[in-house]
Chains A and B, each alone.
Chain A
Amino acid sequence: MNCEQVEAIVPDLDRDGAADSLERAAAVAHLSHCPRCAALQESWQAAREELRALGEETLEARAPARVEMRLRQEFRTRHRTMVAHRAAVVAAWALAAAAILVGAISSWNWRQARNLEAEKQKMAQSALAARETAAEQNQGSGTFSAGISVGDDSGDFTPLPGTVPDETEEAAILRVRMQRSSLGALGLPVNEERAGEWIQVDLLVGNDGLPQAVRLALEEN
């Protein structure tokens, strides 16, 4: 082992496990006959003693108590803030959940109401249609039902409700133009949607001057 190698290993000689036994033996052998390296070892041992003394000097050193106080203060502040923050987050989530719930319930209610409305309309329409169909069927040839739009003057008069069949030979046929709603006054069913329409009808007027029957007449124009 040469001086350079020994110089590298000298500080580890008195350190447990820092150098292997073979290296240690070789270094010790070198030190026994090399005064320069022996002096180096002596210097290093002195330096190590001094370092150890320096280490011992600060061995009991501790951070002052004020550090712990400051840290505890910071810890408390931090955790108080965190708790408040957490509570705020929980409250915010609860509010958001409540808002969503209210929104969902409102939406559901609105849809229900809309469906109900649509259902009602559908029912009303179907009832109307049923009424019209029934009226048509009642009118037989369909001359005066609400849905009647045309008729002919083939002679098919419909007796008016409440009239007694009479001799019609001397009866007169009177063509009049009137609103469909006026049929109601003669005791006939009228489609309300078409109540404002103008129609031409032939009235069979009896000897007593009262209409006995009625039929739709074709529009002339």
Chain B
Amino acid sequence: MREKTERAPRTGKDGVAGETRIAPQDRDDLLLRRAAKGDEEAFALLYRRHQGALYRFALRMTGSAWGAEEIVQDVFMTLIRAPKKYDPERGSVGALLFGIARNRVMKHLERKPREVALEEKNEDGTGAGIILQDSFTPAMWVEKRERMHQVRAAVLDLPAEFREAVVMCELEEMSYEEAAQMTGCPIGTIRSRLHRGRALLLAKLEMLRDVPRRMKVAR
């Protein structure tokens, strides 16, 4: 099941992320205030609360574990250096962090337009990969892994703006409103980017398949 508590995009108000109840003293804005005064534990709590969602977003956008790590680090470095950058009137701490992450991702993509294929590793150094289930034969596992690789490559091949819309609305499963809020774009722009992104993605996936279904139907 998808974890809701760490998803910055789901964070409507500070400290109320997903379904998890957070003690009033542990609200994001209060943690940030404490961190600005030098409370390391408050900073660590804030980091742990948001790093997963930011890391996943960066990872899905860049396709690079190293790049995602660098981006997450940059985001929190910014928070350490300029905690006063946060303005409660402009949104939640989660939204601020996501905004910084988004900028860093775009810069990263400009610098390195095409990363090598994602090969994510777990903390212990093992590959994340696909979890083998009892019903899977090795052949099926290889096939599925190959297909995942193709899907990942197709997503990473999308232009950055379309990719962002696809990552947010399809992989992160944000609503259009949430995506619009996070990117600061009108909802129509998100819909339009998503429409074009989906079309490109679909075409790419169809092309990668041995038997394109639409072509078959057209015939």
| A binding-site residues for B, Cβ under 8 Å | 8, 11, 17-18, 35-36, 39-40, 42-44, 46-48, 50-55, 57-65, 67-68, 70-72, 74-76, 78-79, 82-83
Contacts and interface: CB of A to CB of B under 8 A. Distances in A.
A70 to B, nearest CB: 6
A65 B72 CA distance: 12
Interface of B: 2-3, 35, 38, 40, 43-44, 47-48, 51-52, 54-56, 59-60, 65, 68-69, 72-73, 76-77, 80-81, 118, 120, 123, 128-130, 144, 147-148, 151-152, 155, 166, 170-173, 175-176, 194-195, 198, 201-202, 205-206, 213-214, 216-218
Contact of B128 (A53, A61, A72, A83): A61
B205 A47 contact: yes
A55 B186 CA distance: 25
A198 B145 CA distance: 130
23 contacts: A36-B217, A39-B214, A39-B216, A39-B217, A43-B213, A47-B202, A50-B148, A51-B155, A51-B201, A52-B170, A55-B171, A55-B172, A57-B120, A57-B128, A58-B171, A59-B56, A61-B65, A62-B51, A63-B69, A70-B73, A72-B44, A74-B77, A76-B40
Contact of B130 (A57, A60, A70, A72): A57
Contacts of B176: 18
Contacts of B128: 57-58, 60-61
B44 A67 contact: no
Given A44-B202, A70-B73, A72-B44, A58 B214 contact: no
A7 B194 CA distance: 13
B69 A67 contact: yes
Contact of A43 (B44, B68, B155, B202): B202
A44 B123 contact: no
Nearest to B216: A39
A62 B55 contact: yes
Contacts of A57: 120, 128-130, 148
B56 A61 contact: yes
